[in-house]
Structure 1
Amino acid sequence: NRPGVQAWIGEHVGKWLHAAVLTWQNTGNPELRAKIDRIVSELIATQEPDGYLGTYDFPTRWTMERERGWDVWVHKYVLIGLLSYVSGTGDEGRGTSENELRRKALDAACKAADLILRTFGTGEGQLDLMERSTHVGMASSSILQPMVWLYKATSEKRYLDFCRYIVWAWEHSPHGPRLLASLLSHGDVQRTANGKAYEMMSCLVGALELYRVLRDEGKEDEGKALLLAAQRAWDDIVENHLYITGGTSLGEHFQPDHHLPNDGAVSETCATVTLFQLTLELFRLTGEVKYMDIAERTVFNHLLAAQHPNGDRWCYFTPLEGQKNYRSDINCCASSGPRAIALLPTFVYTFDPDGGIRVNLYTQSELNLPERGMRIVQETAYPYDGKVTIKLQVSQPKEFALRLRVPDWCKEALIAVNDESPKRVEHGYCELRRQWRNGDVVKLEFPMDLKVIIGTHTNEGKLALMYGPLVLAVDERFLPEGIDPLKAVTVTSEGKLPVKVVPVNSDEALWEGEKVFETEGILLTDLQNRFKLPLTDFAHAGAKGTRFAVWLPPHNCPLLEA
């Protein structure tokens, strides 16, 4: 129905399609595929003769009315949804009806994009894309990403030209955000445009997509500024605007350096998801391990913390202390979160140009490569346990490099092939190049202990605890009745902390296999009262509505005293 009941309500169908197609690619679920096909058909049926696929009525199209105008933004996500369907559901073995629907989806995407091209630009009668946008042009201009996708799908130069127009308008429109000029000069995301995290990072994801296309076409010099700006933004976010849990932003904006309070409007889920996307894009372009280290931290901590363990609700903001507010309404974050979850299988394993295979994330998984006569099976309880077994099945001996990530939190890992003696390896990618045979086994061990993190800036004088990649929290759910997790309890902090990973009683567990990390705790109201303190991982803290805290008050911590 037009107009939509809310200004950016049209984004949800595109976000859903993106997540659903990624999920179908990984699962092959026929019921999900049928639903995807139905949604695509219904979406295409709403398109107007001129190509319009938004949710605004005619008088308010492309205007700044109705909550400051999100019409182009809506089209961005519609295009992402349609183009995900086109690129992600191709299967020559399927019937002609599915292939015909893919053709119709691409035609609909082209018609909608062509309407955008006719409407915005520098020609006579055209509108300034930056002016018809909230957040200093960044909302509308984030359509850069699907415009690049459309160029890749069609090879039609007009879409590449429009991408170039967007980059030009960033810098030269009187309403533009000056993304490149700002990031290349001072590299401070808080001082770039209006500091809106989600929209800025969305633009940078599109910039990296454009850089890849230009590089692949031999025009890398034209795109170098796009890559460098995104790298500088990412470096600034990680250095100055990143929570220990891998989330970013406060009140949806980047704040002054290190202003990262633990409660309130912490790390909008849309920002968490888009930081994850930006990080993955930079990894795919550079292969640098630092990007995958942050991706892991975000996934196991802030991303999963935003979703309720039963999967049906999401937090808009996810604080590091207090209570989580899981919401059941359809909002931007509830639609963004599943996209990141669906992206997870795409980076567990990646492929290098020399035919090598990277293992980036440790999780129970299988990689099936029938075209290479190969299957890789990963067995592990990671991140609760640091032992990983990787089994290779190959149709015939094959020589290639298996590159295994040693995370940044691990000082030294042990890696052994078959019955060979284990070797010690440090942070980075450990390359195992050999002729692999059927039945070969690689065993890894990442020693896991409780690690005390000393707070700085906002958390000066406090401490946090990590176990491997997991940020831990004190949760009221596991404390004696009447104990305040925000003020009254901490760890003893005397030497190396003991830890024991134990399952939660089945009648109390959020999910089968839930675990807690037992260590020695102390009540600040009674320093002689030491007790067995169960810590939970941040992802599950507060899932039953209880209060929790990541950063704890210290007691007799030599590191703090030093």
Structure 2
Amino acid sequence: MMKNRLLLTLFILCAWSGLAQKAQYQGNKAPLAPLKYIELPLGAVKPQGWLRQQLEVMKKGATGHLDEYFPKVQNDNGWLGGKGDAWEETPYWLDGAVPLAYLLEDKTLTQKVQKYIDWTLSTQRPNGFFGPLTNEERKGKSISSCEQGADWWPRMVMLKVLQQYYTATKDARVIPFMTKYFHYQLQSIKACPLNKWTDWARARGGDNIMSAYWLYNQTGDKSLLELADILYQQTTPWTQYMAERNWVMQASANQTGESWMDRHAVNVGMGIKLPAIYYQSQKTDYYLKAMSQGWKDIMTLHGLPHGMFSGDEDLHGNEPSQGVELCAIVETMFSLENVLGITGDPMYAQALERMTYNALPTQTTDDYISRQYFQTANQVEVRRGTYDFSLPFYRGMNNVFGPYAGYTCCTSNMHQGWTKFVSHLWYATPENGLASLLYGPSSIKANVGNSVEVTINESTNYPFEDQINFELQSAKAVTFPWEFRIPEWCQEATISINGKEFKKGKAGEIVKIQRQWQNGDKITLHFPSEVRTSVWAHNSRVVEKGPLVYALKIEEEWNKKEIKEEGTFYEILPKSAWNFGIPTSVAEKPSKFLQVTTKGMPQGYVWNAQNAPIEIKLSAKQIPAWIINNDGVARIPVTTRDGFYQGAVDNKEQTITLIPYGCSKLRVVAFPLIK
């Protein structure tokens, strides 16, 4: 009898232990491959410091008020049952506005976006289709077959919105709604394939697969895996393109109309995650190798100093005078955030931080109302013109700042960049721990170990400083693993706990610390960074320190103008010299010749030239022949393999000032070398 009781007790203890170790957050269900890192629910991470200020600016600007002034979203909106926007622009806006509302816990914005969600959830058709009224429905007919439906693409965006909303609210309507829609899609997708209405859905089918896998992890409905396989076959073959490598090379030369959707930078930004997304069901290295090699090839052939690949709108090589579309940046960020969770490869975190802290902030104004359709790396003027872009656009508005300049997709889509980045500063781990893979001022509330809730405050001015401080708050001691990424540019990092050095970390490593953490524990990361130079197009040099690249500070003259078709916009002209070359001695020994000055964080908005927290000064000389041509382009002079520019250079040395690229509007970031 005693033996039976003992066995029963052991069984109960083992069962309790198994339950205690159950994952705190939903990862992948079998047969999908386990995730390396698991996304946290929307709202678990909150912005602090300058990141919160960034989001507050967005709330006061376009993200919080787009529906009040942008005609496409404001007027008779199709996503509220009207005859207005029935395609991508409203879902695009919600894809950033919904997370912003919950990240800031803003009641006004939450109520504003809720009406779109409620309308969408409450107007699903009996067969599962959802969204704005179709042409047939406007004639009074019901949707009896998929042919009477509408484009798959905008629904993919709204599904992303609903996923985020569900993780924040657990609204019981979302899961059956998505289940019914995906059953409809499975029944319809062969008769009405992704490209039936537009090629956008074909190019961006990876987002559809991603949502199907997400729902499978909630419900275990295996028909979703069948749907994903069909969608993969109908989607642009990004995996094949990235694995076989010819595509990315041909894109450097082909700027014709042939297969241009396969070179469209926004499609590429979305498509690059497809190998990693589909790897989850296939579980073979082919997909991860395709992802890794493809990303490296894109950045080798089309990469620019700010961390993003060219795309104006096509992929367009690595000249610093080529453009980058704002939509492409935010979509690539989102892709890398997902790929990082699936693969755990710190290469993607490094790439994500670089483009976020350099390319992203420079393309919007301080009030977050106006934006550029295309930015350029070496941007010494901003005005109407055709430039070197593959899409000149007949009104010449692709380079100016304005609410609607160029195409308005970016007016609606730019909002997801900062919001989703904040949400992905932290990940959960399958071992019921946490991972700090990206860095910025924030706080997190999460369950770890044996279901113990902890709050961690991350105090830092990163990327403008090299120290990050964490403080853990917990009602009791808790054992869990905590992982930290060491950036590639940091040769040796120091991790201290409660004021004592605990561990060193090498460049590019993920350091895991498994221990019993106590309430009040303080962890400090120190990432020493040296000023350095890197080589880019035409043997030019870029100055870098930590996660930031630095650009010439140019005095600016802003001119407000207006055209009937696109409203007000801003041109920016240079008021100071910009055509400088830097000496080879600086490139060879930057720490000897570059003077770094830390000014401290400003009281106001950080991403402008006046408030730049860091400056770097150096001696340089002007290159008289380096001028702006008639198309508004300042093509960089070639530095030959002999080591320097061969043309005439002024004898007079001048001290120039560099600021973080993200703080600039006019700039030179890639400099020719001179003697």
> Normalising by the residue count of structure 2, what TM-score does the alignment of the two structures yield?
0.66
Q: Distance in 1 between matches of 2:517 and 2:130?
A: 54
**SS of aligned partner of 2:598:** strand
1:532-558 superposed Cα distances (whole Å, 9 cap, x missing partner): x3222111211xxxx3211122233xx
Q: CA deviation at 1:234?
A: 2.3
Paired position in structure 1 for 2:465 = 385
1:264-304 superposed Cα distances (whole Å, 9 cap, x missing partner): 4x222222222222222222122222111111111111122
1:449-472 superposed Cα distances (whole Å, 9 cap, x missing partner): 4312233xxx22321111211111
Paired position in structure 2 for 1:261 = 319
Q: Distance in 1 between matches of 2:211 and 2:552?
A: 42
Shift of the 260–14 alpha-carbon distance from structure 1 to 2, 3 Å rule, reads same
8 Å CA contact 1:413, 1:426 repeated in 2? yes
After TM superposition, list the pairs within 5 Å mapping 1:39-58 onto structure 2: 39-44=116-121, 51-54=129-132, 57-58=135-136
After TM superposition, list the pairs within 5 Å mapping 1:141-290 onto structure 2: 142-170=207-235, 177-186=236-245, 188-190=247-249, 194-205=262-273, 208-212=276-280, 214=281, 220-221=282-283, 226-255=287-316, 259-264=317-322, 266-290=323-347
Answer with 382-391 or 111-120: which moved more. 111-120
Shift of the 313–155 alpha-carbon distance from structure 1 to 2, 3 Å rule, reads farther
**Structure 1 ranges of 4+ moved more than 6 A:** 2-8, 59-64, 504-512
Task: Tell me if 1:356 matches 2:433.
Answer: yes
**SS of aligned partner of 2:472:** strand
After TM superposition, list the pairs within 5 Å mapping 1:122-521 onto structure 2: 126-130=191-195, 132-134=197-199, 137-139=202-204, 142-170=207-235, 177-186=236-245, 188-190=247-249, 194-205=262-273, 208-212=276-280, 214=281, 220-221=282-283, 226-255=287-316, 259-264=317-322, 266-322=323-379, 323=382, 325-329=400-404, 331-369=408-446, 372-421=452-501, 424-427=504-507, 428-455=509-536, 459-477=537-555, 482-485=575-578, 487-488=579-580, 490=582, 493-494=585-586, 495=589, 496=592, 497-502=594-599, 514-521=612-619
Q: CA deviation at 1:113?
A: 4.4
Gaps of 5+ in 1: 91-98, 171-176, 215-219, 557-562
Paired position in structure 1 for 2:634 = none
Shift of the 59–392 alpha-carbon distance from structure 1 to 2, 3 Å rule, reads closer
**SS of aligned partner of 2:263:** coil
Q: CA deviation at 1:336?
A: 2.6
Paired position in structure 1 for 2:11 = none
Shift of the 284–160 alpha-carbon distance from structure 1 to 2, 3 Å rule, reads same
1:90-131 superposed Cα distances (whole Å, 9 cap, x missing partner): 2xxxxxxxx4xx51x55554555455444430xxxx234345
**SS of aligned partner of 1:28:** coil
1:331-356 superposed Cα distances (whole Å, 9 cap, x missing partner): 22233322121112222222222233
**SS of aligned partner of 1:243:** coil
**SS of aligned partner of 2:599:** strand
**SS of aligned partner of 2:483:** strand
Q: Distance in 2 between matches of 1:275 and 1:225?
A: 21
Answer with 302-311 or 105-114: which moved more. 105-114
Shift of the 291–461 alpha-carbon distance from structure 1 to 2, 3 Å rule, reads closer
Paired position in structure 2 for 1:217 = none
**SS of aligned partner of 2:444:** strand
1:313-348 superposed Cα distances (whole Å, 9 cap, x missing partner): 332222102236333128222333221211122222
Q: Distance in 2 between matches of 1:508 and 1:295?
A: 22
The counterpart of 1:540, out of the listed 632, 653, 663, is: 663
Shift of the 287–307 alpha-carbon distance from structure 1 to 2, 3 Å rule, reads same
Q: CA deviation at 1:224?
A: 5.9
Answer with 26-35 or 419-428: which moved more. 419-428
Shift of the 208–334 alpha-carbon distance from structure 1 to 2, 3 Å rule, reads farther
Q: Distance in 2 between matches of 1:414 and 1:27?
A: 32
Paired position in structure 1 for 2:189 = 120
The counterpart of 1:524, out of the listed 615, 622, 630, is: 622
Q: CA deviation at 1:473?
A: 0.8
Q: CA deviation at 1:13?
A: 2.2
Higher relative contact order (CA 8 A, sep 6+): 2
Paired position in structure 1 for 2:563 = none
**Equivalent AA in structure 2 for residue 436 of structure 1:** W
Q: Distance in 2 between matches of 1:318 and 1:551?
A: 14
Answer with 318-327 or 142-151: which moved more. 142-151
1:471-523 superposed Cα distances (whole Å, 9 cap, x missing partner): 111131289x85332x1464784442221122599899866953241312334
8 Å CA contact 1:145, 1:207 repeated in 2? no
Paired position in structure 1 for 2:12 = none
**Equivalent AA in structure 2 for residue 252 of structure 1:** E
8 Å CA contact 2:279, 2:287 repeated in 1? yes
**SS of aligned partner of 1:267:** strand
Shift of the 326–48 alpha-carbon distance from structure 1 to 2, 3 Å rule, reads farther
**Equivalent AA in structure 2 for residue 147 of structure 1:** A
Answer with 459-468 or 180-189: which moved more. 180-189
8 Å CA contact 2:425, 2:439 repeated in 1? yes
1:135-181 superposed Cα distances (whole Å, 9 cap, x missing partner): 693246753333334444554444432221122334xxxxxx44444
Cα-Cα RMSD: 3.8
Answer with 187-196 or 446-455: which moved more. 187-196
1:213-267 superposed Cα distances (whole Å, 9 cap, x missing partner): x3xxxxx44x765544433432322333322211113323334xxx212224x22
Q: CA deviation at 1:184?
A: 3.5
Paired position in structure 1 for 2:565 = none
Paired position in structure 2 for 1:84 = 164
**SS of aligned partner of 1:414:** strand
Paired position in structure 1 for 2:388 = none
Q: Distance in 2 between matches of 1:129 and 1:7?
A: 23
8 Å CA contact 2:583, 2:620 repeated in 1? yes
> Taking every aligned residue pair, what percent have the same amino acid on both sides?
19
**Equivalent AA in structure 2 for residue 522 of structure 1:** A
**Equivalent AA in structure 2 for residue 81 of structure 1:** V
8 Å CA contact 1:8, 1:73 repeated in 2? no
Q: Distance in 2 between matches of 1:283 and 1:552?
A: 32
Shift of the 165–509 alpha-carbon distance from structure 1 to 2, 3 Å rule, reads closer
